[in-house]
Structure 1
Amino acid sequence: MTARPRVRSLRTRLLLYITATLVVVCAAMALTTVFAQRAYLLDNLDDRVGDAAERSLGGASIHPTLDTNLGFLHENGQPAGMLAARLDDKGAIVAGALVGQDKAPLALTAAQRGALAGIATDGSKHTRTVPGLGAYRVTALDDNGVRVLAGLPMDDVQDMISGLVLVEAGVAAAGLTVAGVVSAVVIRRQLRPLGRVAATAVEVSRIPLDRGEVTGLTRVPSRDTDAGSEAGQVGAALNRMIDHVESSLAERRRSEEQVRSSEERMRRFLADASHELRTPLASIAGYAELMNLGTDRIEPVLAWRRVSAESARMTGLVEGLLLLARLDEGRPLESGEVDLAAVVAEALWDARAAGGGHDWQLVLSLDDAPAAVAGDEARLHQVVANLLANARMHTPVGTTVVAEVEATAERCVIRVRDDGPGIPPELLPRVFERFTRADTSRSRAPGGAGGSGLGLAIAVAIVRAHGGRIDVDSVPGRTEFTVELPPASRATATGLQPAGDQVVRTRRASV
């Protein structure tokens, strides 16, 4: 409802601006023309005044002693309306007359002579208003004591300038009228798309964007989004803004869904963590009670062994949670020179001891330089151990697991791949999220296999704390985790030595 008055106001302002501009331009052109024409006519008149003065001076020089003689005005060729006078040595008019039309010259009156007094005999041109005669252009000359004043009327110049002003005023008025009409029509046509854009904006503003699902918002028609016009640019910008609003609303909905999903995962994790902690606590409490009763149903050594195992399981879960909390808070890790080849080799030996049924292999591609990075060796060992443990727990016996280390001047890369069944496609996008497990139930295989869903989350948090990144690519028959870390400086890398005899610079080695 408010768009139409605004457009009309804009149309009025544009028309006023254009009209004012045209008026200024026309006035400037008219003044320039008038001044130029006036200057030209005055120059022409000054030339004629100078010629008349020289001719009068020549006639007066014939009788230099007769300072009141104006006989030269009787000569042929003197224009009607010309006035002439003889001057004394002080510049005062001694005698003066006006050339008439077909009649004898008329003597100037005292008032007329007074209006012509004080003109220097240097040939300069002056404009004087002579009573009863009007404006005159006059000059005075001196030749050996003979002084003559001559002047011509300016009526022709003034009449021509007045006529020119009237003609230009009429032409300007007609031009302004035509330009105003054309401008009004053009502005009206050009502002029609802007009116449609405003109507679209009003329609969108009436939609309740704060609730419900908002889709299919009205757009400005494509004909009003031409980038070649300002209105089209506004229409295109409004469409982009509407697109942004829709995408923002969609992102808000996705964020809300993610929050709900995150809350659901958190609730599930709390339930899982409670179950994980409750199970070993129940076992510990049960074995402790049996040992306290001194029953013969269980051997003390076996009881202490089970208590120790359940305590270690519970300690690992709590330490994992504490580590994630510290990394979330941005606490700095220990930093030192770490040889990734040694770290991976040691982790591979540990994995072989835990999973002897798998085929473990180590591949080093070091480009004649150790894979040196700056970081926390214990945490980097934990990353590799978690990746290898993940491959061991989720692949069958006989699976080949390859740990590869690649080092160049630009990067250091660790790859852990296996030829197992792969990660389920529905699990792959969130495999690094915390509390994500392949088995969604809370049951565990004998011996506690399966994990609590924190291993990969801890790995990605440690890698990011070292300024690196971790990715995964999985299809049936091939799963590969890639860890990329920034290398240490050349000076640090040069002084680094291999950390053990098992780290050799070969393309492939079976462990």
Structure 2
Amino acid sequence: MRGFPRRTGRPPRTGLGRRSLRFRLVLFVAVTMAVVCGAMALTTVVVQRVYLYEDLDQRVTDAAERSQGGLQRRPGSAKDLGFLNERGQPTGTVAARFVDGRIVAAESVTEDGHQRTLTTAQRAALDGITPDGSLHTRTIPGLGTYRVTAIGGDGVPVLAGLPAAGIQRVLDRLIVVETVIASVGLAAAAAATTTVIRRQLRPLGRVAATAAEVSQVPLDRGEVAGLTRVPEADTDPRTEAGQVGVVLNRLIDHVESSLGERQRTEERMRRLLADASHELRTPLASIAGYAELMNQGDEQISAELAWQRVTAQSARMTGLVEDLLLLARLDEGRTLQSVEVNLATLVAEAVWDARAAGADHGWRLALRLADGHASVVGDQSRLHQVVANLLTNARLHTPAGTQITVSVETTGGECVIRVRDNGPGIPPDLLPTVFERFSRGDASRSRAPGTGGGSGLGLAIAAAVAEAHGGRIHVESEPGRTEFTVVLPRAGTAPEAGPRPAQGL
């Protein structure tokens, strides 16, 4: 048998999964931040554009009103645009006059403050604008995009326009600045996010490394013990990775305990097979020996004696096989017979039988029945076997003169059988395994001379039958006092389907 010690050192890397998860998290955060920054930048540009155009529209309207007022104060022809020479006219301002809905004069203010007449193509870009005060966006060849309006009312109809190129330049610069700021912010955020995510995923990586290390342990052979656990620092239930660590440790504990129980079961089965083989080999060897002597015609042994020994060993082997068969059937969960059994009568008969077989012991029977009867539902022959096995065990493992007291009690919904003796007691190291199969105490407890060796199945059968009837059995022992207690449900309180199947080994 070999174990697997707890391993130390750096755990094996599980980089693929970690990098994949880290990459996805960083990518998700980066995309999210990019979307958020893009939405904020777009919103800022849209709001700034609306604000700038509202301001431009107001200036265009003011320019048109100012131009109309200048014409009213200036005498001149219908093509007079002299008001453009007045101070305060912005560079690039366009003005025009209408006659019968047609533009008859159109000029713009140059950078040096003079007026320049618009060409026919440039004037054509202003066609279709009526003096109703509405605002329009027009692209004038050679001058660019303009925001224009025309007003009439009670005054002289006049058109005025201001260039929108400044607004576009402001918006372009704003987009560039926001792009630079967003890029720097995204890069910094990505770096910080990568660092934080890497740090937060380290415990998860160690948990994965622990799982990978456990998966490499050959669990199909040998004694499984000391499996690697997730470090305590990585089992903080307040974090997601810690919760995974706690669950993984719990799973490893369960696997280790289950495999340990399987190992113990296999050991018990191997010991059971070895003990059964040993028990069967002894009578078989005896039968074979006597048969050989009879075949050789040995005069030192009579045929009658040989047949007696062969018959005795055959009976012993038959009893052992029947006991093993009974335990196997109980292990399979086969249902026992279900009838009402009077325990007081059954125990009394068993005590009389034991007294006849062990006259050198003191026997005492005590009935403590609260309502005058102690009935249970079960298999009468098997319950008799339980009591007989306990009495035989007390008789064989105690010296002559030992006082054996058997009592039957009723307490509430239970019937209790107690078998107590004042013999030497059961050794403490044997007490935990006294109900296991082929468990013997011959080396430690006194035995009556000439009784012969038992198979070590009596107490195991008693425990299995008691459990099959929905009851339980336990023992308390010390020098001078050993007491076996069998507790069974009384009739009327047992399960409707009768005795329940016994459990395994």
Q: Provide the TM-score with structure 1 as the length reference.
A: 0.66
Corresponding position of 1:389: 392
Q: How does 1:416-435 map to 2 (within 5 A)?
A: 416-435=419-438
Q: Is the 8 A contact 1:388 1:416 kept in 2?
A: yes
Q: 1:271 to 1:101 in 2, by over 3 A?
A: same
Cα offset for 1:6?
5.4
Q: 1:226 to 1:376 in 2, by over 3 A?
A: closer
Q: Which amino acid aligns with 1:136?
A: Y
Using the alignment, how far apart are the partners of 2:489 and 2:49 within structure 1? 84
Q: How does 1:92-491 map to 2 (within 5 A)?
A: 96-100=106-110, 103=113, 106-118=116-128, 125-139=135-149, 143=153, 149-176=159-186, 178=188, 225=234, 227=236, 257-258=267-268, 260-272=270-282, 274=284, 316-317=319-320, 319-338=322-341, 340=343, 343-344=346-347, 346-348=349-351, 350-352=353-355, 354-355=357-358, 357-362=361-366, 364=368, 373-396=376-399, 397-409=401-413, 413-439=416-442, 448=451, 451-485=454-488, 489=492
Cα offset for 1:422?
1.6
Q: Which amino acid aligns with 2:420?
A: R
Q: Is the 8 A contact 1:81 1:153 kept in 2?
A: yes
3-state SS of paired residue (1:470):
strand
Using the alignment, how far apart are the partners of 2:494 and 2:331 within structure 1? 32
3-state SS of paired residue (2:335):
coil
Using the alignment, how far apart are the partners of 2:337 and 2:464 within structure 1? 15
Question: What CA deviation, in whole Å up to 9, does each residue of 1:78-127 have, x standing for no partner?
Answer: 544333456789x8756544355674654444433443445677766543
* Structure 1 unmatched ranges of 5 or more: 299-303, 494-511
3-state SS of paired residue (2:428):
coil
Q: Is the 8 A contact 1:7 1:191 kept in 2?
A: no
Using the alignment, how far apart are the partners of 2:308 and 2:217 within structure 1? 68
Corresponding position of 1:48: 59
Cα offset for 1:373?
4.6
Using the alignment, how far apart are the partners of 2:478 and 2:174 within structure 1? 93
Q: 1:87 to 1:455 in 2, by over 3 A?
A: farther
Corresponding position of 1:38: 49
Cα offset for 1:394?
2.2
Question: What CA deviation, in whole Å up to 9, does each residue of 1:4-59 have, x standing for no partner?
Answer: 98599669947973666655554444334333333332333334344445666777
Question: What CA deviation, in whole Å up to 9, does each residue of 1:326-363 have, x standing for no partner?
Answer: 32343221223445555445544554555453242435
Cα offset for 1:488?
5.6
Using the alignment, how far apart are the partners of 1:476 and 1:276 within structure 2? 37
Using the alignment, how far apart are the partners of 1:422 and 1:379 within structure 2? 26
3-state SS of paired residue (1:326):
helix
Q: Between 2-11 and 132-141, report the one with greater CA deviation.
A: 2-11
Q: Is the 8 A contact 2:347 2:384 kept in 1?
A: yes
Question: What CA deviation, in whole Å up to 9, does each residue of 1:240-273 have, x standing for no partner?
Answer: 8888888788777756654543343232222245
Q: Between 134-143 and 382-391, report the one with greater CA deviation.
A: 134-143
Q: 1:26 to 1:462 in 2, by over 3 A?
A: same
Question: What CA deviation, in whole Å up to 9, does each residue of 1:57-80 have, x standing for no partner?
Answer: 7778999xx997767767765544
Q: Which amino acid aligns with 1:399?
A: Q
Cα offset for 1:456?
1.5
Q: 1:79 to 1:457 in 2, by over 3 A?
A: same
Using the alignment, how far apart are the partners of 1:193 and 1:118 within structure 2? 72
Using the alignment, how far apart are the partners of 2:407 and 2:435 within structure 1? 19
Q: 1:386 to 1:217 in 2, by over 3 A?
A: closer
Question: What CA deviation, in whole Å up to 9, does each residue of 1:385-421 have, x standing for no partner?
Answer: 3223322332343424243434435x65544333322
The Cα RMSD (Å) is: 5.7
Q: 1:7 to 1:310 in 2, by over 3 A?
A: closer
> How many pairs does the alignment contain?
471
- Taking only the aligned residue pairs, the percentage that are identical comes to 57
Using the alignment, how far apart are the partners of 1:331 and 1:88 within structure 2? 117
Using the alignment, how far apart are the partners of 1:84 and 1:373 within structure 2? 119
3-state SS of paired residue (1:135):
strand
Using the alignment, how far apart are the partners of 2:340 and 2:125 within structure 1? 109
Q: Is the 8 A contact 2:283 2:313 kept in 1?
A: no
Q: Provide the TM-score with structure 2 as the length reference.
A: 0.67
Q: Which amino acid aligns with 1:128?
A: R
* Structure 2 unmatched ranges of 5 or more: 1-10, 497-505
Q: 1:217 to 1:461 in 2, by over 3 A?
A: closer
Q: Which amino acid aligns with 2:276?
A: M
Q: 1:447 to 1:156 in 2, by over 3 A?
A: same
Q: Which amino acid aligns with 1:42?
A: Y
Question: What CA deviation, in whole Å up to 9, does each residue of 1:294-337 have, x standing for no partner?
Answer: x9xx9xxxxx9999999976765554344234323432212234
Question: What CA deviation, in whole Å up to 9, does each residue of 1:267-289 have, x standing for no partner?
Answer: 2222245479889999xx9xxx9
Cα offset for 1:202?
9.0
Cα offset for 1:157?
1.8
Using the alignment, how far apart are the partners of 1:24 and 1:468 within structure 2? 70
3-state SS of paired residue (2:42):
helix
Q: 1:325 to 1:175 in 2, by over 3 A?
A: closer
Using the alignment, how far apart are the partners of 2:246 and 2:430 within structure 1? 41
Using the alignment, how far apart are the partners of 1:56 and 1:132 within structure 2? 23
Question: What CA deviation, in whole Å up to 9, does each residue of 1:194-248 have, x standing for no partner?
Answer: 898999999999998888889888888x697474888888888898888888878
Q: Which amino acid aligns with 1:358?
A: G
Corresponding position of 2:499: none
3-state SS of paired residue (1:473):
strand
Using the alignment, how far apart are the partners of 1:42 and 1:400 within structure 2? 113
3-state SS of paired residue (2:460):
helix
Using the alignment, how far apart are the partners of 2:368 and 2:134 within structure 1? 106
Corresponding position of 2:500: none
Using the alignment, how far apart are the partners of 1:306 and 1:214 within structure 2? 48
